Structure formats: structure tokens, C-alpha cells
Chain A
Amino acid sequence: MSDLGHYALRLALLVAVIGIAAGVAGGWRQRIEWSAVARRAVVLVFVLVTLATVALWVALASNDFQLRYVAQHSARGMELPYRLAALWGGQAGSLLLWLWISCLFAVAAAAFHRRSPLRSLPWVWALLLANAGFFLVLLNFVTSPFEKLPPAEVLSDGSGLNPLLQHPLMTIHPVLLYAGFTGFSVPFAFAFGALLSGDHGTAWLRATRRWTLIPWFFLSVGILLGGRWAYEVLGWGGYWAWDPVENASFMPWLPATAYLHSVMIQEKRDMMKLWNLVLIGLTYSLCLFGTFLTRSGVISSVHSFTAAGWFGFIFLGWVVAAAGAYFAVLWMRRDSLRSPNRLESVLSREASFVLNNWAFMGILVVVFWGTLFPVVSEAVRGVKISVGPRFFNAMTGPLAVLLLFLTGVGPLIAWRRASPASLRRQFRLPLAAGAGTAAGLLLAFGSGIKLYPLVFFSLGAFVVGTISQEYGRAVRARMRGSGESALRALATLLRKNQRRYGGYVVHLGVVFILIGIAGAAFNEERLENLKPGERLAMNGYTLEYLTARPLPQQHYGGAVARLALFEGNRPLGVLTPEKRMYWLEQQPASIPAIRSTLREDLYVILTALESDGSATLKIHRNPLVNWIWIGGYTFVLGALLVLWPHPQRRPGRDAR
């Protein structure tokens, strides 16, 4: 079976090369039959890569430890779901998964645009195949998942997957992130194809926007789940550490989100074509770059990068080539992309979107610079300097405030030029909501409240005010106009203009997430050493250390502490933080115990069991952190409302 996978990858590379040639020929000579060949090559490559992926899955499920990859990332003792998840536990397998998902997107595009008259399509197929071809070269010649161990090294068991990854969230988080990363190859190919073919009409724009929304959704959810996993498993009390790996997933999200906003200006006012093409190019370049960062070892040290040899250089070469080619063609076509329209007023929706784009780009610059600074400094000056989370928080905070403010302004302000009267009418209620919240917070907390929570909560109220006002007005208008009931009017609204009203729900989710993040300003933490029977009081809670027991599990040992939790005198239950040691992998792990409410989380880590029988505990009180996950669910709901296909609307007739 593993031989089958090996040869499937070889054959896929061959088919991809043929398909690229056919696509280029079809694009160059405008030959429809060559385009069809290229499209079929996309389908065939997908079938072959699927075969390879299934082959590796079968090898993992059947414990085929002849394969180096299976031996290094799986073990007999692991449950089947985690053996299958080991597909993305290591380098070669995760590249195969990356390739497979990108082929899935490519084949979806091929099916969807089978009868499309777009002139750029042969180029699109060639570009998608070139993207797959690069990963096929890596998987065939640089890091193969089907590499066999020399017979003398074959053992009867593997060394297992990192136990921290053996968590339900980790079976889906990487898949979602990859779906985000790879999915952006489709809008990239459509934009690049449009540039190459010179077909700058509006059809490619609709195609790109739709194909951006889907990976953007996956990437967003993937990032959120990653935070959730870090919170539940890594046991340091937080969910986001501005770690280079996290930043690598966050960076493409920024231009993609900026694009989803500014593309509306292009649709309504035929402006910012060039800029939108820049954003699409940036998004996919950063996806490739992020994969390079996390896969090459360059982040831990420039020297480990050069030691890693071929892989990093080939990958960096590809990132530079793809981005370079795209932006070179964009530069050559710049004159035909000029817009006839100009920005008419600073008080307009266009201007608010332009500012929104600048803010997203500002955050991108900060994150990019902070992530790469240690590498650059080591390469240039030979000194390694680390950049802490404080830098990122301090720099992105003001920009996040600006974005939250614009979230409220953008939907209400008029296109072209807003009149003072319309501004008053639109913003009276939301501004009152924001100001009222600010006043209430100042009254309740006095000057003790910190600046960021005050600003975030007030602006959050302002945005929620704008959203409710928009929904309220539209529902009332429908009820008056067509005599529908409120619920029915709401449903019609969501169906007739799903982008707008679904988008508002997405915004609501973002507001919740930002409120949850701002809650961190009230975080408290304590480190205590308790003997059995001793208590500690923290902010109305009382924790009593009862006992510690050994953890007799099959794959790991360690201890679980039992803590009685009281609020006042009312018992709330028993918390059981664990300290584990995974035998096979020799890896320790602290599993926190979390008592979660809408108001706050109590997050308890068993730091150490001391030799005198006492326990050292780290207790975090994390107010409002649950709102991040609630915001996540709201976000998903909103995104689904936007993406939900409505049968009565044909692709040709895009909604206004």
C-alpha cells in the first residue's frame, strides 16, 4: 500500500507538469481544448494525491513501522483517531495534508467553473497545478512520507505522537489552518490568471471574493481553536503568546480580512482594483511564507536554518518566486487597473474602509517585524534578540481600538459623501450607547478601571448599538412594507442580503472576542504552596487542598491533586489539576483544572508536588475569557449566514 502512495505521488508530479504545459499553451494561444486538458489534469492530480493520502493513512492505521514517518510519529498504543491525526504530526505528512487540501480546493474550483467563460481559466489551472507541483517536488525528492527505514532499523513499535497533540482539538485545528492556508491559493490563482490574461472584467472579482471567503472562514476558526487548545492543554494560563508559529497563522489573516472589506469598494465604486490585487498577492505569499517559517527552523535560529539544508532553501526560493512573479506582473499591468473614480470625501464609507485597510496593514507590519526581528538581528549583527509579547500588545492595541471604532462607523456612514444630517441620524443612538457604557463603567469602577478595558467596552457597546439599530430598522421596514412578522422579516433579510446581515453577526462575534481579550486587563494570578488541609482565599473563592493521588494510566503517570472549591461557604465542586509524564515520549505535561463561568475562569495548575507533601499551585483568575469562545461561536454563525448557499440565487446574479 505504501508503494502505491509512493508511485501515486510520482505520477501526480508528471500529470501536474503536463497540465501546466497545457494550461500555459491554452492561455497563450487562447485554445479552449488545451484549457480542458489542464482542467482534467487538476482533477487527476487530486485523485492521485488522494490515493497517496489514503495510503499513508492506511500505513498509520495498520502500524506499518517500516515507514520512517509512521515509526517516528505513531505508536501501537495510540488510539485510532490519534494514529490517523499523526498524518499531520510531522513534516512530510503535514506537507502531504497541505497538498491534499489544496488539491481539494483546486478540484472544487475546477468543478464550479467547468462551464465558465472566463478567459483567464487556462492560466488559473496552470497556476494551481504549479502550486501543487512544487509540493509534489518536495514530497517526491526532499522529504517523502513513504521513505522506508533500512531493515536493521525497523522496530516493532513507533516512538509516538507528541502527547500534547493527542487532544481532540488537535485533530481538527491543523486541518482547519491548512484549509485556510491552502484555500487562498484559489483566489491567488484567479487574480494571477486575470492579470496574465489581461481579462480585468468583473467576473474574476466575483470568483475571487467567493473563493477568499471560504478559506478565510477556515483560517479564522483554525486560529481560534489553536488558542483554545493552548488554553486547555499548555497550562500557562493564556491562549495567545505571540509565538512565531501563532504569528505565522495570523499574518495571512490580516490582508485577507482587509481584502474582504475593500473588495466592497471595488464592487460599488470601481475603485482600489490595484490595491485589492496587492492584498490577494500578500495573503497567499504570507501563507507560503508562514509555512516556510514554521517548517524550516529559521525561527529558532538562522544557523539551524542553514543546517537544515535543502528544504529551507527550496521553500524560500518558491515563496520568493511566487510572490515575485505575481507582483512583477501586477506592476506591468498597473496602468490598466487605474480607477476612474476618486475618493470624494473623508466622511464616507470608502474612506472608513481605506482606514480599516491601513489599520490591518499596520498590524501586519508590527507582527511581521516582531516575528522576524530576532532572525534579522542574528543574521545582520550576530546578536540574537528576543521580542516579547509586550511589544506586540503595545503596538497592536491602538490599531485594534481604531478597527473596533471603524467596525461601528463603516456600516452606517454613507457612500461617497456623508451629510451632517445623516451622520446625526445614524450615529445618535450608537454613540449614546457607547458614551452611556463609558459613564457607567467610570461610575462603577471609578478611576480604578484601566484605559484599554474602558475603551474596548465602550466601543463594543457602540458597535453593538449600530448593529442592533441596523437590524431594528430593516426588520421594522419589512414589517411595515410587507406585513411580515418580526421573525419572518428577519429571515427574509438574512436571505435577501446575507452578506450584509451575516457580516453584522460576524462583527458581533469580533466584538465579543475583543471584550474577552480586554478582560485580560483584570487578570490576577497567585502562586501558593499548600499542605493537605490548608486553604487559600482569592477574590471570594476558597480553595482547599485535599490530597494528591498517583495517576495510574496506561500511557502516562504522574499525580492528580484534589482541591475543594468554595464560593463564600457554598461548595462548588472539586478541581483536579494533573501533572503527567508520558512514558514513551518522556514528556511531562500540566493539565489545568478550569472552572468556567460567563464572568470569569478560575484556572488552576499543579506546578509541583513538593517533597514534604505540600502542593505548589498556580491559580489564575481570568475574567471574561469565556467571551472569546462565545465570540468564536457567534463568528462561525455569522460566517455561515454569509456563506450559506441559497438555491434561488444563481451565481450569475450576484446580490447587491
Chain B
Amino acid sequence: MHLGSTLTVSFRALRRNPMRSLLTALGIIIGVGAVIAMVSIGNGAKSMVEAQIASLGENVLLVFSGSFNQGGARSGAFGAGTLTVDDAEAIRREVSTVVAVSPEVRTGAQVLANGLNWSTQILGEGPDYLAIRAWPLSEGAMFTDGDVRSVGKVCIIGQTIATQLFPDGSPVGQTLRIRSQPFKVVGVLSAKGLSVQGADQDDLVIVPYSSAMKRVTKQTMLRSISVQATSAATLDLAQNDIISLLRQRHRTTEQTDDFTVRSQVEIAQAATATSNTMTLLLGAIAGVSLIVGGIGIMNIMLVSVTERTREIGIRLAVGAHGREIQLQFLTESIVLSAFGGTLGILVGIATSELLSALNNWPTLVSTTAVVIAFFFSAAVGMVFGYYPARKASLLDPIDALRYE
């Protein structure tokens, strides 16, 4: 019996009982659908992270206090502050591959303007900060070195602050009170939207770090130092030079470093690695449901073989070879699972689109995942259909014809 008629016979057999065929394929449909949806969501998150990398500024290194490798106490990132403004100046002075430096302190505070108040984050930065972060202003100008030296009461506000506290007209030139102290708004940042973690990146106020440290918070140590290298090529060199310099200044060794220097790429890679692991895990769980779907197919095929014993007897009587019977049932099983796989792929794509629309999660349907899912479901049909098909082929025609 050649392939054409085998497929015809199998399709006819499945068409004879459409409800059962659909229910049998349901396990595969759900399994494949789940795999596709989860992988799409995972991929979407990953691509968002990658987009975030691109938006964070090139050739940027982040120096922050605390180390993940500290021998005794692990203080973690941003732990007991050990970075000083002098460290930042030293980096700018002595590392030739560094082109810009911005020391950072951070705190939360209430800000007031025009009789409205708002709880927000206050960042104390250097004037190079916006250049390092590649974050343009929509209005006004960044504060200067002079402002830093004079501990000036000037600030840059994010779009959310502008919208919330300065509904009429331009905020530039107006006054913003930070912890009851008046600061003059000299610039407004352009919009950045939500971060990957869902935080509002436009909800912040930037003041000179000296002003932040003297007037807003009582911190004497820096939270971090943002550094921009001269180019992507010199990034590694800059990273090493900064580490050596700080080790010298802090008198630490690799084992006792109280700081960490990371490139933005490394930070983003860490986030991607996590999301990759999550995606794989979710995919594996969904893969298990595919196996279960396969077992479902095997069960139904076994029932089907028993129910169609008479039919198998007739086919054998009119001249079917055992092999042909086996091929027929195996084909039915594969067609069923491949059909389920196709439906599952469509369901998975639809689900991920739906979730994407409802929750604002990004999704990215991966062609690789689709192809793998399809062939995997066909394979499931082949593996789990083998035993029932073999059983069918070994039936004796006389007994089969007599079967009640």
C-alpha cells in the first residue's frame, strides 16, 4: 500500500469520528500551545532586555560599592558605602581610557511645586550623567561643573514630575521644593517609559551630587559611579584600570574588594541569563504536558484498535499485510499528533498575542520553537502510536472477524 492511499485511509478513519479525534489530540494541542506561548513570552522579555541594553548608553561601566565575592560578610550590591567622591575624581584623572564620570547618590523624598506634592526619587549625579546615559533633554539644559562646585540648588526633572507638578506651561525656571528647600528647574528629561521591571523611569529628579549629599541626604559615601569609556574597544581596558586603581586606593585584593565594576553589557547579560533559564524551565514543564498528551494518544489508539478489531479482520481478510495495518494505525497516530501540534502552534501564538495585548508583556514568536514543536508532536505520535499499531498488525484474521 503506497503512501498516498495510506494517508487517505488514515484521514478517512480519523474523519469518521471527528469528536474523538479532536479530544485525543487535545493533550498535544495544550502541550504545544503552552510551549509556544511560554517560549514567546520568554523571548519577548529577553528582547525587551536587549532593547534596554541598547538604550542604556554605550561603553558604560558601573562601579558600585559592595561585592558579591567578599570573603566573610557578603554585603551585596550597594551595601555599606565605600566609594567616595575622591574615588570618582581619581578615576576621571588617572584612567586614560575614561572619558566621562558621574558619581551617584540616591534617596527618596517628597517634592512640592505649585501647591502639588509628589513622592519621588532624588538622584545626585555629575554633569556628565546625561551624556553617559545617552538620555536627551526635552527642554532646558543640564547643570554644570560650576553648579557642582557651588553646591547649587538646581535640578533636572523627569516627564512624570513635569506632568504631575507643572501642568501649565514649561517647568524650566520654576521652583521645586525638595525637602523644603527650593531648587530651580533648569531642564526636563525626555520620556523613557517603563523599565523591564515595571518601574516608571520618568519619575525622578536629578540634582548635582554635591547638593544631594549636603542638602538632601546625609550620605557621605557614593552609591555608585557611572563611567563612560572612550570606545567599545577600550571598555575592557578601562574596566581593568578602574579595578586596579580602586584596589590601590582602598588597599584591597581580589578576595577583599569592597566594590564591583560591571559593564552594562554584563548587567544585561545577567538579566538575560535569568530569563533564558526561566524560558527553558517553562518550556520543559510544557514539554512534560506534551509527553502526557502522547500517552493520551497511545491510550486512545489502543482503545481504537480494540474497537476496530472487526475492521482490522476485514482488511486482513481482503488481503492487507500485517505491515500495512501497522502503517495505517501508525499514520493515524502521527496525523493526529501533527494535526494537534499545528492547532497547538496556532493556539500558542494566539495566547501569546492575547497576553501581550492584555498585560503589555512583549512577546516574540520564535520560528525555531514552532518548527521544533511541530516535529516533536509528530515524533510523539510516532513513538506513542507504535505499540497500538504493532498490536493491530499482529491480530489473527479469524479471531478478529469473530470478535464481538
Q: Do A and B bind each other?
A: no
**B residues with CB within 8 A of A:** none
Q: Which residues of A contact B (CB under 8 A)?
A: none
